């Protein structure tokens, strides 16, 4: 008998399911919902999502976040922000995060309160509540939050933001927590955008040791450079 999967949703996944926008991964999220309704998986959210969920943003301005959850999301089990979870979130926020490939002199960033609580909830479920195979589903890539450069700690690539934090037990627990996009095995992955293809090509160029081949790939890469020059992702 297949083991029941335990899924913790970030608030951004809840928003995606309620609004169906952007459309990428909506079918994947719906497949997870169908699994939960069929008893094949359990979906949880932290109750901090109730503070992050704005009814007007999901065209439900006449309702409260909790009424939306009860009416539209009865398949979701809320996890209270218990003292142990909030204490763990405080430990996570007490660290300064720097990208493993970043300049040591670059300004370090801290976790937002919401991110820390979501991670702490996942850790608590995995380490202390007895839940098995916990997956934290999120779209959070760290962009547009956290510091003056418009970037913060990415939930998806949290492990890449833990330079010099190998001795922090809570950080290591967060690294061990399975953090992923809400993809479902029965659904097709969304097509990659131009910027994603450009980044893959750039990584391929950077790892080629043959000088002539490197130069040829570099010329091709320059010709296909995407128009969006504002993205400085280093995840």
Angle between helices 113-127 and 169-176 (to 10 degrees): 80
Q: How confident is the model at residue 205 (pLDDT cuts 50, 70, 90)?
A: very low
Q: What is the mean pLDDT of the chain?
A: 84
Is the pLDDT at 127 greater than 60? The verdict is yes
Out of 28-37, 96-105, 151-160, 166-175, least confident range: 96-105
Is the pLDDT at 208 greater than 70? The verdict is no
User: Taking the CB of residue 207, how many other CB atoms lie within 10 A of it?
Assistant: 8
Are the CB atoms for 142 and 151 separated by under 8 Å?
Answer: yes
Distance CA 196, CA 185 (A): 21
Who contacts 174 (Cβ-Cβ below 8 Å, separation ≥6)? 92, 119, 122, 123, 158
Over range 17-26, report the average pLDDT.
Answer: 94
Q: Which residue has the higher pLDDT, 101 or 118?
A: 118
Task: Please tell me what DSSP assigns to residue 160.
Answer: G
User: Taking the CB of residue 11, how many other CB atoms lie within 10 A of it?
Assistant: 20
Which pTM does this prediction carry?
Answer: 0.80
The pLDDT score that the predictor gives to residue 186 is: 96
109 membership: H or E segment, kind and range? none
């Amino acid at each position: 008998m297949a083991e029941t999967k335990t899924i913790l949703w970030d608030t951004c996944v809840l928003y995606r399911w309620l609004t169906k926008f952007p459309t990428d991964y909506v079918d994947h999220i719906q497949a997870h919902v169908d699994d939960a309704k069929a008893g094949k998986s359990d979906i949880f959210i932290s109750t901090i999502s109730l503070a992050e969920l704005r009814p007007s943003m999901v065209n439900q301005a006449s309702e409260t976040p909790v009424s939306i959850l009860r009416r539209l999301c009865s398949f979701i089990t809320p996890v209270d922000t218990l003292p142990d979870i909030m204490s763990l979130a405080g430990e996570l926020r007490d660290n300064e995060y720097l990208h493993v490939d970043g300049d040591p002199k670059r300004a370090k960033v801290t976790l937002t309160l919401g991110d820390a609580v979501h991670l702490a909830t996942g850790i608590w479920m995995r380490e202390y509540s007895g839940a098995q195979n916990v997956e934290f589903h999120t779209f959070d890539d760290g962009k547009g939050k956290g510091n003056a450069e418009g970037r913060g700690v990415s939930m998806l690539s949290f492990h890449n933001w833990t330079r010099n934090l190998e001795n922090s037990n809570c950080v290591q627990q967060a690294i061990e927590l399975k953090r992923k996009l809400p993809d479902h095995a029965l659904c097709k992955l969304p097509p990659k955008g131009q910027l994603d293809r450009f980044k893959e090509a750039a990584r391929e160029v950077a790892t080629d040791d043959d000088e002539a081949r490197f130069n040829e790939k570099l010329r091709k890469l320059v010709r296909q450079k995407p128009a969006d020059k504002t993205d400085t992702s280093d995840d």
